[in-house]
Amino acid sequence: MSGSILLADDEEKILKTLGRALRDEGFDVVTTPSAREASRLLAERAFDLLIVDYLMPEKTGLDVIREAVGATPDGERPAMVIMTAHGSIESAVEAMKLGARDYLQKPFEVEELLAIARRAIEDQRARLGLRYLLDERDVEFGHYGIVGNSRAVRELLARAERVAESRSTVLLTGETGTGKELVARAIHAKSAQRNRPLIKVGCAAIPETLLESELFGHTRGAFTGAVTSKKGRFALADGGTIFLDEIATVSQPVQAKLLRVLQEREFEPLGSERTEKVDVRVIAATNRDLRQLVAEGKFQEDLYYRLNVIPITLPPLRDRREDIPLLVDHFVRRFASSAGKRIDGVERAVLDDLTKYDWPGNVRELENTIERAVVLANGTVLTQETVWLMGAVTPAHGPGLPSLRLHQNVEWAERETIRRALERSRGVKKDAAELMGISQRALSHYLLKYKDSI
Ligand SMILES: Nc1ncnc2c1ncn2[C@@H]1O[C@H](COP(=O)(O)OP(=O)(O)OP(=O)(O)O)[C@@H](O)[C@H]1O
Ligand SMILES: [Mg+2]
């Protein structure tokens, strides 16, 4: 794991041991036996993490922390951890009050320190990452999980934030998996009506015959099977937001009724004479080209204009590739944490592949790819094998095939087979060879051939 650490302790021996352990983990470590020197270094350059001993000759670790807090704004300060001697828990508590995230009570195991350092740096990154994605923009949007720092995403966020303040109808368009629903939720959550309901209607998922009653409700006996009356989703969304997903699939009669709600803010439930009024913001989404459907006579023109008050187009992922590493990082973190695995990141080569790939399923496809890779991962890094295995990066080549290069695929299959056979035989070569139906000599030959990659 990478990250920069400043380690300050007046005991040279401790400094040396801990410094080495942290460096072995991949951290970039600066050590100093002097508290004054630590303060100077902190003022001079940025660190991800400060680990400081409490008891030092010139001043205490607490003083170092206090000065750091005073001298640097919250967002630029390193994560801070204090080491205290046995029995001086008060200083640890004091440090935490000042903003230290953790403390280590001496004597402690090196493993303990490493675990704390890893977590601190990870959190610190997530925190800074958020800042970096959103820069000065209202952090609230960050909580809705919209990750990206490309120009397209920044513009999108700015627009979504502005529209959140109004009650205007929004039309979200974009390919599948680009985040239309995510943005719809963010707009609602940011609006003044955030405490009122957000009701989603997946128009394509509801059978055509039921959609009208789902949207507008019905009275008892309005149609066969309507044994009780039922409130429609527009009524449920009153005062809040209704999210009409996959709006392009709506039938002509329902389109007409939707047009009326948009124009008049009123409707009649099925079987009812009574007109109901609603105060609801409409957000519609589609991955189709509505204008085209209008031209083909499949979508009502008036309704299109009523929906298209504030159009927001979500760019396909392949048009904002610079967001891919950020998204990868975000999903790795999320799925590793939910799988309870420690995954530090993705191999350089994998990241290259992921960045080059065209992602027809956009962010959803990337999300699924990372989830599968995390589940499959054996080590702490997602390797080309894990990602290839799922064929996710290369669906054009067929599931599970890394490429269209015959030899490359054959070698890949050989490596995979051997790896799995060895796994099954718990490393006993004789058994693995038997499972594969080859001689032990042949297996030795393969092991030599692939010695670095099995
Ligand atoms: N910018 C983003 N940052 C983080 N996650 C994202 C982003 N965009 C999309 N996602 C995630 O990708 C998945 C697909 O997003 P969403 O459901 O919003 O897509 P959609 O545009 O509605 O797709 P569809 O047209 O297929 O319904 C979701 O799990 C969502 O959380
Ligand atoms: Mg959707």
- Assess contact for 79 and 117: CB atoms under 8 A: no
Backbone angles phi, psi at 54, to 5 degrees: -70, -55
Q: How far is the CA of 168 from the centre of ligand 2 (A)?
A: 20
Q: How far is the CA of 372 from the centre of ligand 1 (A)?
A: 17
Judge if pTM exceeds 0.85. Answer: no
Q: How far is the CA of 329 from the centre of ligand 2 (A)?
A: 22
- As beta bridge partners, residue 31 has 7
Secondary structure (H, E, C), the chain: CCCEEEEECCCHHHHHHHHHHHHHCCCEEEEECCHHHHHHHHHHCCCCEEEEECCCCCCCHHHHHHHHHHHCCHHHCCEEEEEECCCCHHHHHHHHHHCCCEEEECCCCHHHHHHHHHHHHHHHHHHHHHHHHHCCCCHHHHHHCCCCCCHHHHHHHHHHHHHHCCCCCEEEECCCCCCHHHHHHHHHHHCCCCCCCEEEEECCCCCHHHHHHHHHEECCCCCCCCCCCEECHHHHCCCCEEEEECHHHCCHHHHHHHHHHHHHCEECCECCCCCEECCCEEEEEECCCHHHHHHCCCCCHHHHHHHCCEEEECCCHHHCHHHHHHHHHHHHHHHHHHHCCCCCEECHHHHHHHHHCCCCCHHHHHHHHHHHHHHHCCCCEECHHHHHHCCCCCHHHCCCCCCCCHHHHHHHHHHHHHHHHHHHCCCCHHHHHHHHCCCHHHHHHHHHHCCCCC
- As beta bridge partners, residue 333 has none
Q: Which atom of ligand 1 is nearest to the CA of 314?
A: 21
Q: How far is the CA of 259 from the centre of ligand 1 (A)?
A: 27
Instruction: From residue 138, give the alpha-carbon distance in Å to each of 135, 144, 162.
Output: 8, 12, 11
Task: Name the residue with the closest Cα to ligand 1, atom 13.
Answer: 364
Q: Which atom of ligand 1 is nearest to the CA of 153?
A: 1
Q: How far is the CA of 366 from the centre of ligand 2 (A)?
A: 15
Per-residue pLDDT of the chain (454 residues; tens, 9 = 90+): 778 999 999 999 999 999 999 999 889 999 999 999 999 999 888 888 999 999 999 999 999 999 998 887 766 789 999 999 866 778 888 888 888 888 888 888 898 899 889 888 887 766 655 444 433 333 334 546 788 888 898 889 889 989 999 999 999 999 999 999 999 999 998 899 988 888 999 998 888 888 999 999 999 988 888 888 888 999 999 999 999 999 999 999 999 999 999 999 999 999 998 999 999 999 999 999 999 999 999 999 999 999 999 999 999 999 999 999 999 988 998 898 888 888 888 888 888 889 988 888 899 989 988 988 888 788 888 887 777 644 444 444 555 566 666 777 788 788 888 988 888 888 889 999 998 889 988 899 888 888 766 6
Note the ligand closest to the C-alpha atom of 244: 2
Q: How far is the CA of 363 from the centre of ligand 1 (A)?
A: 6
Q: Which atom of ligand 1 is nearest to the CA of 147?
A: 3
- Residues lining ligand 1, CB < 6 A? 145-148, 174, 176-182, 287, 327, 363-364, 367
Q: Which atom of ligand 1 is nearest to the CA of 183?
A: 18
pLDDT of residue 107: 86
The closest of 402, 447, 449, 399 to 421, measured between CA atoms, is 447
Q: How far is the CA of 146 from the centre of ligand 1 (A)?
A: 9
Instruction: Give the distance from CA 370 to its chain's centroid.
Output: 10
- Assess contact for 374 and 382: CB atoms under 8 A: yes
Question: 10 Å Cβ neighbour count for 248?
Answer: 19
Q: Which atom of ligand 1 is nearest to the CA of 245?
A: 27
The best mutation among 363, 366, 367 to test binding of ligand 1, ranked by most ligand atoms within 8 Å of the C-beta, falls on: 363
The residues placing their C-beta within 5 Å of ligand 2, an ion, are 181
Task: Name the residue with the closest Cα to ligand 1, atom 12.
Answer: 364
Q: How far is the CA of 388 from the centre of ligand 1 (A)?
A: 23
Note the ligand closest to the C-alpha atom of 149: 1
Note the ligand closest to the C-alpha atom of 157: 1
